[in-house]
Structures are given as C-alpha cells and as structure tokens.
Amino acid sequence: MIDFDKPEAIQQVQNLVETVAVNMMRPVSRYFDDHEHEIPWDYINFMHQATKAMGGAASMAPTDKKSKDEKKDKRPPIGYQRLVHMVEMLAWGDAGMYLCTPGGMLGSAAVSAAGTPEQKKKFLSKFRGDKPVFDAMAMTEPQAGSDTSAIRATAVLDKETNEWILNGEKIFVTAGHKALIDSDGFIIVWATIDPSAGRAGMRSFVVEAGTPGCTVTKLEYKLGIRVSDTASILLQDCRVPFENILGSPEVEKRTTKGFKGAMATFDATRPIVAAQAIGIARATLELLKEELEKNGVVIRYGLPRQKLTNIEREFIDMEMMLHSAWLLVLKAVWMADNHIHNPREASMSKLRAGDVVVKITQKAIEILGPLGYSRELLLEKWFRDSKITDLYEGTGQINRLVVARNVLGYRGSQLR
C-alpha cells in the first residue's frame, strides 16, 4: 500500500533542494534564460558536492540498494520516490537549470533499468568522482521521433576486435554536450543490430565521452529550458566495447524482448518528467495566488461553486488538476520502487502532468493579462518551459496510445 507520509530521508533531501531552488536557481533564472547555453557552474558544482556530502542520498541515479534509514525502518526502497520529490522542487526553482544537475539523468536511468550489475557498477560509479559528470539519452533521429521503430542508426559487431561499430545521427539530445564535452560522462545510443528484425533488433549502447567517432555537431536554440543544452550527435564508425550493450546481443525475430528491455527505461523516467511539470505548475499557481492577493482577490475555499467568482473557480480547478497529476506521479514511482510493472501508470502520469502544466501556465497568463504576458514576471518563461514536458520522453499523443493499449489489451501493431 502507498504510504503518503514522507520518510525522513526524503524530507531531508527536499529541504536541501528547496534551499538551492530559492537561493541559487530563482535569482538567476532570467539571466540564464537570456544567455542560452551558458553553463551554470556555480549551481552544478554545489549540487555535485552536496550529493557527495550526503553519501549519495540525494543522487539523481536511483539504486536498488536500501539506505540505512530504510533498513532501520524496514521500509521498501524509495529511490524513485525520493527522486521525483527532488525533481519537483528543482523544477519549481528553474526547469532548465534542473536539467543541468549532475549525478545521473536519462542515461543512468537506462543503465539502472536494463544494465547488468557489472554495468551499473562501472557506469554509475562515474557520478561519485571529484568532478561533476553528466549523461544523456540519444534516441531521436531526423526521420525518427516518437516512432522508435523507424530508428536507422546501426550497430555492427566486429568479431575480430569484439567491438560494436555504431553509425548514425542523433538529434535533440538533452545534455549531450555536457555529457560528451564538458564532463567525463556518457550517452545511451539507441541503434539496431539487425535492421531486418524490426523492433526485435533494437538495442541501446553506452558510449563514453572521448570515444572516437562520436561528435557533437550542433546545439539547438529553443523556446524554453534554454540553459539546458540540446545537441545533435554524429556517430561515424564509433567503436564501443562489446560489454557496453544493454541487454542481450541475441536477436529473436519472433519477439521484441530486446526492444521492450530498452523501452523499460521510460517506465522509470516518464514519472520524473511528470515531476518536472508538477514543479513548474506549482510555481505558477503560487505566483498567481500572490499576484491576485496583491490586487485584493483572495481565494475563498469551502464555498459552493455558485458563490465563487469566476477567477476563484478557475484557480481551484487548476489546483485540482495539479494535485490529481501529482497523485499519478506518486503511484507510478511507488510501483517502480517496488518493482511492479508500471508502463500504464508511468505514461498516465507523464501524459496528465504534461497536459496540466501547459493548461495552468497558459490560464495564469490569461488571468493576469498584460502583466502575465510581460517579462516582469517569470510566468511567461514558465509557459515556454512547460511545453517540453509534453514533448520529450514520448509526446502526449504517444503516451495516450501507450495508456490505451494497456487498458484495452492491444499490441502496438493493433492500435496506432
């Protein structure tokens, strides 16, 4: 059963990141929005040292191991639950800067979800070094966005050297530059080891920084999350060790076991993206309430709807949307921590949160009018930042399909 009481381990981490969000993120949020691609090293270095000082308690890479407090209290693992509370608070501070947090992001989530014990030890240990390390997920291609079956990047095994040779182009790689250029990190590259096998031939590979043949070719200029780099990456005869493949190298054409293993990453990461959306939406509602109260509008809770003003009704409806989305996130990560299959719940949480945050930020701007539309407040920035949560880690349309397939019992080929 889900326990909604926060364990002390989560509360301690949340207190830390709240201090960071208030004092290190909000004050420079506008500056880094105006100076795209400038790296917030003060924030990065502080977060790296903070997580190390806590012995990994605030690591951005969840682990199967229980903390001392969890063992003492005989609680189940809370790695992903702790993580979404962190992400929600950091996104409340600044969603783009949160994406610059060292210590494990989508790439490490893939290793955690599909890697062997040896791979987890090798790659996740990178985050415990003296310098900040980043990771990234390289999936999207010029011709393959949400349809991962259209990926054309290839991985061919060189039997003489026992290495995989990767070729292809990846675009919209979040934190790709920081993972490959600004730190000794790694990216997870999706590629096919057998194009004729379709999805059954899809695998993911760990490509470490400094690997010859892996080049960052471009940085995108974006609508929102501007402080976070979004890179294009070219793979030209990029050689990685045989053991850097996540999952089995054997292809069974009658099954999509390998593809499903790679896709399991999203069951863990989609609720994390949802938590990012929740943080932006909460920041928006708090600011909106503050501005309304400055103008004499106080939300009167507990009254029948017909006795409320239109603004009061709209504000309360937005709060309900926010809380319902957050409950879906908590359920999804509770299931992940307890090793319960959660693709439906993960997609539900991401779909709902991505939809809710766009509606809330847009409605807040409408309510405040010219003030909301101006740059005097961060509201217009949060509106721009919000849209990415509906796009990456599977668009809203894709997650609707995932939910529908799980509810109705259809395979991907039966419901598109």
Domains and CATH numbers, the chain: 8-128 (1.10.540.10), 135-246 (2.40.110.10), 257-408 (1.20.140.10)
Parallel, antiparallel, or unpaired for β 186-192 and 202-208? antiparallel
Q: Are 67 and 60 in contact (CB under 8 A)?
A: no
| pLDDT at position 355 over 70 | yes
Out of 61-70, 127-136, 197-206, 331-340, least confident range: 61-70
Out of 42-46, 62-66, 253-257, least confident range: 62-66
Q: Is the model more confident about 1 or about 247?
A: 247
User: CA-to-CA distance for 330 and 81, rounded, in angstroms?
Assistant: 7
* Entry pTM: 0.92
User: CA-to-CA distance for 218 and 143, rounded, in angstroms?
Assistant: 17
Q: Who's near 151: CB < 8 A, 6+ residues apart?
A: 139, 141, 144, 168, 190, 191, 192, 202
Distance between terminal CA atoms of the chain? 34
| pLDDT at position 248 over 50 | yes
Average pLDDT score over the chain: 91
| pLDDT at position 353 over 90 | yes
Q: Is the model more confident about 220 or about 51?
A: 220
Q: Of residues 208, 312, 380, 393, which has the active-site annotation?
A: 393
pLDDT on residue 54: 64
Residue position matching structure tokens 């009481």:
5
**pLDDT tens-digit map of 165-190:** 999 999 999 999 999 999 999 999 99
The pLDDT of 281-287, averaged and rounded, is 98
88 flagged as catalytic: no
**pLDDT tens-digit map of 221-242:** 999 999 999 999 999 999 999 9
| pLDDT at position 262 over 70 | no
- Residue 77: pLDDT band (50, 70, 90) is confident
- Residue 57: pLDDT band (50, 70, 90) is very low
- Residue 58: pLDDT band (50, 70, 90) is very low
